[in-house]
A and B are shown apart, each in its own frame.
Chain A
Amino acid sequence: MKPRNKRILLILTGLVALGVATFFVLRAFNENLVFFYTPSQIANHEAPTNKSFRIGGMVVENSLQREPGGLEVKFIVTDTAQSVPVQYAGILPDLFKEGKGVVAEGRLNSQGVFVASQVLAKHDENYMPPEAKDAVKAAQENQNKNNLAKTSQNTDPKK
């Protein structure tokens, strides 16, 4: 082979390899994105039923129930507007508390219960997971909007 052809062959091989690698990386990327939904979005049926995703919000006070015998727990996660029942078998992280923020990853079952495969641990007592914070904020903004709409309806002079 002439050196020129050799070089071209080498460059082509490199490019093909790079292309194949990029293809696999992007495919894996696409398949493994984990999306995030708020309890309100789940109530609106926006969340997928066949795919794993994350939810965030506050754990409702006094909602934590333990199954006798095992380590199965049930609790309710709310964004103050809507709430989702969550079921989890396993050990909860140190900073899991009723009334505090939580993020969980898992799937919705046919009864509308979120079966968590993982409840995420956070490192700081005062720290609110951003996902949980945003879920609550979005829900409250929504409520405020609705309230405003209602009040403006009520004060409609034509009525």
Chain B
Amino acid sequence: MIPEIGHLALIIALVASLIQCVLPMWGAHTNQIQLMQVARPTAYTQLFFVIIAFVALMTSFINKDFSVINVVQNSNADLPTIYRICATWGSHEGSILLWGLMLALWSSAVARFSKHLTLPILARTLGVLGFISFGTILFTLITSNPFLRMIPAASNGTDLNPLLQDPGMIIHPPMLYMGYVGTSVVFSLAIAALLSGKLDTAWARWSRPWITVAWCFLTIGIALGSGWAYYELGWGGWWFWDPVENASFMPWLLGTALIHSLAVTEKRGGFKMWTALLAILTFSMSLLGTFLVRSGVITSVHAFATDPERGIFILIFLAILIGGSLTLFSIRAPKAVAGEEFDLVSKDSMLLTNNILLLVAAAAVLLGTLYPLILEALGLGKLSVGKPYFDAVFVPLMTPALFLMGVGPITRWRSAKPIDLVTQLRWALGATVVSAVFTPFVLRSWTPGIGFGLFLAIWITTASLVNLFNRIKSHPANAISALRAQSASYYGMLIAHIGVAVFIFGVTMVNGFEEEKDLRMSAGTSNSLAGYDFVLNNIQQVQGENYVAAQATITVTKDNQFVTVMKPEKRKYFSSQMLMTEAAIHTSFTGDLYISMAEAISNTEWGVKIQFKPFINWIWGGAFLIALGGFFAVMDKKYRFKKNKSL
């Protein structure tokens, strides 16, 4: 009964989303107030029914209803309750439903927090969101219905992929989707503004908090995914330039560009067309990412099934949305008035440079991700584009952007004197060069890569501090009131930029100083790495709730002082008979020890991989600071809109 309720609720939500799209759009076009006013209630209605559908699916999983095909394929009677809940979005069907749920949440948030929008703009924004919802729910119902039954019911399910049986599964997908799908709001706002011919500073001011929040969730989602891959896949890598990672990284890059260009549009009225284009491209990349991940064109842990029907549906939807919005853009954009003039050296020009670099970087990632797929689809051969390409492209492209992160924030809008910038930043630059050159000597190793990475990290930090110091100095009263006088969005920017510095520091240290050894160990064997001594005490069988594992006990000491006992496991899950490496990780502020078991070489010997990852947590720490900065920026008073203040 419950699955049928869910199915019915989803059909009602489909109808609601269609009404949410058609009536308000028509109302805005013909200027009929009653029709435009339909937008808000239908958005709430749609959310209500999508929630019912989602809860119905979750209930089927919790109740172990093995008459539902999706439950049979992604769950098992032995599966712990929390993972049965997560299994709701563990399958293709469930994850698309989660996509729809997030979209409905964002739409209702727009309906709720939009008192300041004029009715036509609101109606068009919700109308576009309604259209996207309609496509998503239709896709779910036609190609990926999670509520289908099987008769007779199965006695047990095949199980959730053991890789997904992890706390990361609880939080990574919802966070990532929240960010992914959230880019639809700025997209819809841009389309609404283009349709209304009101591409102005007010539009930029409404758009900014929405993209910033979505971007924060996306940042957290990507960082969580990276952290999860690090500890769960058992090889200690944190980023693989895997197509699925790229799919989430491209909208992130464009979203970052968008946030910065919105700053120009909001403050100076410039870059309007560019900003609108970025808003369209950011969401397009989110959709393209969904296509790549969900259509089965790439095979990875995230691709559940290869089904051409799904791929074609998403491709058509993608073509309509991207093609339609770009056409609208090309018709309407020339009418937008050009912004104010600016000089070659100015905050405007630096933000433009940052935008171009981020856009080129996103395009480079897109090239590396799509090229092998296109070539293969055309039957022109098989090849892969791996880490070396992305590293070779990404570092040089990001370097000038990262350097400008130090200069840009203290540069004046419109026109700045280079000599002023040099005067203000000479101490920061001096301190940076000195510490970047000497720190590696303290660490007893130096490569150009290490010096370079440290240079950028320290540069961003010191230049940000100079910026803060200048603001205090130029304030008439004392330092405390000067600090109080700064806006939340200013602090947000500082925190996010320092987050980038922390991230770069982490990456530099891991790449420069990581150590690893592949060993053959048996009880009593000892070995050392990075100053730590490891003794394998024993290997024993242990039993988990739904698996059996070989577990090694390894005592770690440093200079004869006890550090920790680590217990890596090699698990075998009962239902799927799948082997899983469960690494043991000893985390500290300055780095991780990472031990994973490979395989039994003989009765007594095991292959064991021991790694030392200095400062690796700074990578994710930096990412969380970046997101925190974004949340700070949204708290700014200027985004607490009064009703209908503008337009």
Chain B residue numbers with a CB within 8 Å of A124 are: 161, 578
Known: A34-B385, A91-B518. A25 touches B360 (CB 8 A): yes
A128: nearest chain-B partner, CB-CB? B299
Among A1-49, those with CB < 8 Å from B are 3, 6-7, 9-10, 13-14, 17-18, 21-22, 24-25, 28-29, 31-36
1/0 per residue, CB under 8 A from B, across A95-125: the answer is 1000000000100000000000000010111
Contact A14 B356 (CB under 8 A): yes
The B288-317 residues at the A interface (CB cut-off 8 A) are 299-301
Interface status of B420 (Cβ within 8 A of chain A) = no
State in angstroms the CA–CA spacing of A69 and B381 once bound together: 40
**Contact string against B for A residues 120-156, beta-carbon threshold 8 Å, 1 for contact and 0 otherwise:** 0101110101110010000000000000000000000
Contact with A along B564-576 (1 / 0, CB 8 A): 0000000000001
- Interface residues in B389-426 (C-beta closer than 8 Å to A): 389, 392-393, 396-397
Structural contact, B389 and A32, CB atoms closer than 8 A = yes
Q: Tell me whether A10 and B349 are in contact (CB under 8 A).
A: yes
Residue among B389, B520, B579 making CB contact with A28, cutoff 8 Å: B389
Query: 1/0 per residue B156-175: CB within 8 Å of A?
Result: 00000101000000000000
Cβ contact within 8 Å between B341 and A3: yes
Q: Which of B349, B353, B578, B601 contacts A66 (CB 8 A)?
A: B601
Is A71 touching B360 in the complex (CB atoms < 8 A)?
no
Chain A residues with Cβ under 8 A from B371's Cβ? 29
Contact B360 A32 (CB under 8 A): no
Is there contact, CB below 8 Å, between B299 and A71? no
| Chain B residues closer than 8 Å to A91, beta-carbon distance | 518, 596, 598-599, 607, 609
Contact B397 A35 (CB under 8 A): no
* A29 neighbours in B (Cβ, 8 Å): 364, 367-368, 371, 385, 389, 393
Whether A6 touches B393, Cβ cut-off 8 Å, given contacts A21-B360, A25-B367, A95-B579, is no
B299 touches A90 (CB 8 A): no
A71–B389 touching, CB < 8 Å: no
Please, how many angstroms separate the alpha-carbon atoms of A153 and B299 in the complex?
Answer: 43
Contacts of A127 in B (CB 8 A): 299
Q: Is B580 an interface residue (CB 8 A)?
A: yes
Query: When the two chains form their complex, are residues A131 and B382 in contact, meaning their CB atoms are under 8 A apart?
Result: yes
Q: A10-B349, A17-B353, A28-B393 are in contact. Are A134 and B607 (CB under 8 A)?
A: no
Task: Say yes or no: A125-B364 contact (C-beta < 8 A), given A29-B393, A35-B382.
Answer: no
Per-position contact with B for A71-89: 1 when CB-CB < 8 Å, else 0? 1000000000000000001
**Contact: B300 with A123, CB < 8 Å?**
yes
How far, in angstroms, from A54 to B384 measured CA to CA in the complex? 9
Residue of B with least CB distance to A70: B520
CB-contact partner of A21 in B234, B357, B367, under 8 A: B357
B382 A134 Cβ-Cβ under 8 A = yes
Cα distance, A89 to B516, chains bound together (Å):
13
Q: How far apart are B343's CB and chain A's nearest CB, in angstroms?
A: 7
Contact partners of B234 in chain A: CB under 8 A: 94
What residues of chain A lie closer than 8 Å to B476, measured between beta carbons? none
Grouping DSSP codes into helix (H, G, I), strand (E, B) and loop, the B interface class, with mixed when no group exceeds half, is mixed
Chain A residues whose C-beta falls within 8 Å of the C-beta of B579 in the assembled complex: 94-95
Using CB atoms, name the residue of chain B closest to A53: B383
Is there contact, CB below 8 Å, between A18 and B385?
Answer: no
A71/B341 in contact, CB under 8 A: no
Cα A127 to Cα B299 with chains together (Å): 9
Q: A13-B344, A21-B397, A35-B382 are in contact. Are A130 and B389 (CB under 8 A)?
A: no
Q: What is the CB-to-nearest-CB distance from A39 to chain B, in angstroms, rounded to a whole number?
A: 14
Contact A18 B356 (CB under 8 A): yes
B518 touches A24 (CB 8 A): no
Main secondary structure of the interface of A (DSSP, over half): mixed
Interface size class of A (residues with CB under 8 A): 35 or more
B386 interface neighbour in A17, A22, A34, A69, Cβ under 8 Å: A34
Is the pair B383, A24 in contact by a Cβ cutoff of 8 Å?
Answer: no
Q: A35 near B349 (CB under 8 angstroms)?
A: no
Q: Is B448 an interface residue (CB 8 A)?
A: no
Name B388's closest neighbour in chain A (CB-CB): A32
Q: Bound state CA distance, A90 and B598, in angstroms? A: 9
With a cutoff of 8 Å between Cβ atoms, the chain A residues found around residue B15 in the complex are none
In the complex, whether B141 has a CB less than 8 A from a CB of chain A is: no
Partner of B393, one of A14, A24, A54, A94: A24
CA distance A94 to B607 in the complex (A): 12
B352 interfacial contact with A, CB 8 Å = yes
Query: How long is the Cα–Cα vector from A69 to B577 in the complex, in angstroms?
Result: 30
Shortest distance from the beta carbon of B529 to any chain A beta carbon, whole Å: 15
What is the chain B residue whose CB lies nearest that of A29?
B389
Given contacts A29-B389, A94-B580, A94-B581, contact A14 B341 (CB under 8 A): no
CA–CA, A71 and B609, complex, Å = 11
The contact of A14 among B161, B352, B577, by CB within 8 Å, is B352
Q: How far apart are B333's CB and chain A's nearest CB, in angstroms?
A: 17
Report if B519 contacts A (CB, 8 A).
Answer: yes
Option from B344, B385, B392, B580 in Cβ contact (under 8 Å) with A10 = B344
- A21 and B357 CA atoms in complex are apart in Å by 8
Min CB–CB distance B168 → chain A (angstroms):
15
Task: Determine how close the nearest CB of chain B comes to the CB of A113; give it in whole angstroms.
Answer: 20
Q: Mark B598-622, 1 if CB is under 8 A from A, else 0.
A: 1101000001010000000000000
Residues from chain B with a CB closer than 8 A to the CB of A24 are 393, 396-397
Q: Are B576 and A125 in contact (CB under 8 A)?
A: yes
Closest to B387 in A: A32
Assess whether A92 is in contact with B599, with CB atoms less than 8 Å apart.
yes
**For A3, A28, A54, A105, which residue has the most chain B Cβ atoms within 10 angstroms?**
A28
* CB pairs A–B below 8 angstroms (26 shown): A6-B341, A10-B344, A18-B356, A21-B357, A24-B397, A25-B364, A25-B397, A28-B389, A28-B392, A29-B368, A29-B385, A29-B389, A29-B393, A32-B385, A32-B389, A32-B392, A34-B384, A35-B381, A94-B579, A95-B579, A105-B386, A123-B161, A123-B300, A124-B161, A124-B578, A130-B299
Closest 7 CB pairs of A and B: A32-B389, A28-B392, A91-B598, A36-B382, A94-B579, A123-B301, A32-B388
Residues of A within 8 A of B (CB): 3, 6-7, 9-10, 13-14, 17-18, 21-22, 24-25, 28-29, 31-36, 54, 66, 69-71, 89-92, 94-95, 105, 121, 123-125, 127, 129-131, 134
Known: A21-B356, A24-B393, A34-B384. 20 other contacts (CB 8 A): A3-B341, A6-B344, A7-B341, A25-B397, A28-B392, A28-B393, A29-B364, A33-B383, A34-B383, A36-B381, A36-B384, A71-B519, A71-B520, A91-B609, A94-B234, A94-B578, A95-B579, A121-B233, A123-B301, A134-B382
